[in-house]
Chains A and B, each alone.
Chain A
Amino acid sequence: MKQTKSSRLQALTAAAMALPGISAQVQADAPPERNEIGYHYSQYQEDRAPESAVATGSKSRYDIGTHQFRWLGPVNEDYSLLATFDYEGMSGASPMGVTKGADGKPLLVMSGASIEDTRMDLNVKATRYFPEGNASASLGYSTEDDYNAVNLGVEGEKHFNNKSTTLSGGVGFSSDTIEPTQQSGTVRPTSEDKTSVTGFIGGAQVINAVSVIQTSLTVTMHDGYLSDPYRSNDVRPDSRLGFAWNTRYRRWMADSNAALHLDYRLYSDDWGILSHTLGMEWHQNLDDSLRITPSLRYYTQSQADFYVPFDVSGIAGEQSSDYRLSPYGAITLGLAAVASGPNWRLRVSGERYYSDGDFALGGVDVENPGLINFTLLTVGMEYLY
């Protein structure tokens, strides 16, 4: 059995050359090996509206507590099932309009009493795995005191070039009904519908042993009642066509023992909204079981064509003074810590969101007084079995 290293090497090099494609097949797509169960609790809190920005009504904005449950597991060797359930309790006041103050500055007209609402959202997704890809179908139901939505979707992935390239695509459909809470003194619709259709195609590519990129194009079409029934003068078009181009890049930094995430989204729709979203995350491993992730997100949007800085009553046609349709920019700073073991994961994270007219690309003449700042705190755990 004793042989010199070099002769061994020669022998095996020769043998390798004689091999006629012994391993012609690639790794099949497969369900996850283990079940995964998770629970997260998040506290979302918007800052109170400043005294100087409110004409009438409450100054408190939204405060939302969210319980998230998630279960993912293999059903058999070809199928997996994913189920998520969210329970949200929200309270606070929301802007009903924007009026001109004595000095000509915009002021918020807030709803008087605090609004209380709960939202429940159940989604189930089944995935079938194929030798070089997977396909899934999902079904979801979401309900609030004044809102119901049913959605379904199908999507698939196919791998190429020994899993170096992945193409994906899918379509989704959602049917929503809003039945606004009535209030004396206001005229609100009793029941309105909206349908949405979404389609996307995407591709992912392994660039080298440490980096991957994914890009996708999403088209969304909304049709029906798209206005906000709780705003005094809110009339929006009854259709909306939007495009989103998403690109995500991941790079492993071996020297730092960290992963860099870069995300970019370009969004444009026929309401005149054009937005850019840039995201950056740095997943720093401190040791085998602890990871710290600082994150930064920048967002900027232009206004909708029918956006008005002040409500104009008694005119026909489209208008909205919703801050979400106003021109502004926003920054999110986040920090997360994830501790993990062989079969568990714990997460604690905090994010702080600031929005401001001055953060927008391009100038903003009249900043909407309804722009929000919020804090999001999350604790979560996952268990694998």
Chain B
Amino acid sequence: MRAMTELLLTGLLMVGTVAPSYAETSAVAPGFSLPSIYGGGEVSMEDYRGKVVYLDFWASWCGPCRQSLPMLDQLRQEVGADKFEVIAINLDETPEEGLAFLKQFPVSYTVLVDQQKLTPRQYQLMGMPSSFLIDQQGVIRSSHTGFRKSDIEKIRKSVEALLEAPTVSGSDKTSTQGAANES
């Protein structure tokens, strides 16, 4: 009961601190290696160097996810999977719950499962869904919590901006590694 009072008081002091819905960052995306939700081999973050990656953390119980999954799937097909990848990490308690959701909302992009719930800690998730836009060098360029229909256009613009950036042309393994280390 005392802890609750403390929380309520802390809460009162925080009135008025409204955070922006998009945060720009320049941190190196934490690496991971996780199995596909459909079974089979592990996929790691580094496999996608050279591509713009939209990393999406979701769960079957998250309301906005029934909008975000199909819309992201469409965006990936429109932009082209050769340049832009969506990687979704399912955080349901059991993969079966995530699979049941995917049956209802099928997607063609990579869906991984993190049963140890290590990645959400590394990416410091504050809400569901949470997403991170990662550039060709593996640097997180922006992060976002929640999902609204209009977000997809903002994501498209950000992805296109990253694809048009000069660093993309002639990017080879060594130069991208170098860029990531510099930031």
Contacts and interface: CB of A to CB of B under 8 A. Distances in A.
Do A and B share a direct contact in the complex (Cβ within 8 angstroms)? yes
Interface of A: 1, 3, 5, 8, 11-13, 15-16, 18-28, 30, 32-33, 77, 130-132, 158, 160-165, 167, 203, 205, 288, 342
Range of interface residues on B (Cβ < 8 Å): 35 or more
A22 B23 contact: yes
A24 B15 contact: no
A8 B20 contact: no
Nearest to B20: A25
- A contact face: mostly helix, strand, loop, or mixed: loop
A158 B66 CA distance: 25
A33 B63 contact: yes
Contacts of A131: 18-19, 21
A26 B33 contact: no
A26 B150 contact: no
B19 A158 contact: no
Contacts of B11: 160-161, 165, 167
15 contacts: A1-B44, A3-B33, A8-B32, A15-B29, A19-B124, A25-B19, A25-B22, A25-B23, A26-B19, A28-B21, A30-B64, A77-B148, A77-B150, A165-B7, A205-B7
A22 B140 contact: yes
Given A12-B32, A32-B63, A205 B122 contact: no
A18 B21 contact: no
B28 interface: yes
A287 to B, nearest CB: 12
Nearest to A207: B4
A342 B67 CA distance: 14
Nearest to B29: A15
A325 B131 CA distance: 57
A132 to B, nearest CB: 6
B127 A16 contact: no
A291 to B, nearest CB: 16
Contacts of A11: 31
B64 A161 contact: no
Which among A19, A32, A132, A167 has the highest number of chain B CB atoms within 10 Å? A19
Contact of A22 (B25, B33, B47, B67): B25
Nearest to B32: A12
Contact of B126 (A24, A165, A203): A24
B7 A161 contact: yes
A342 B122 contact: no
A203 B1 CA distance: 13
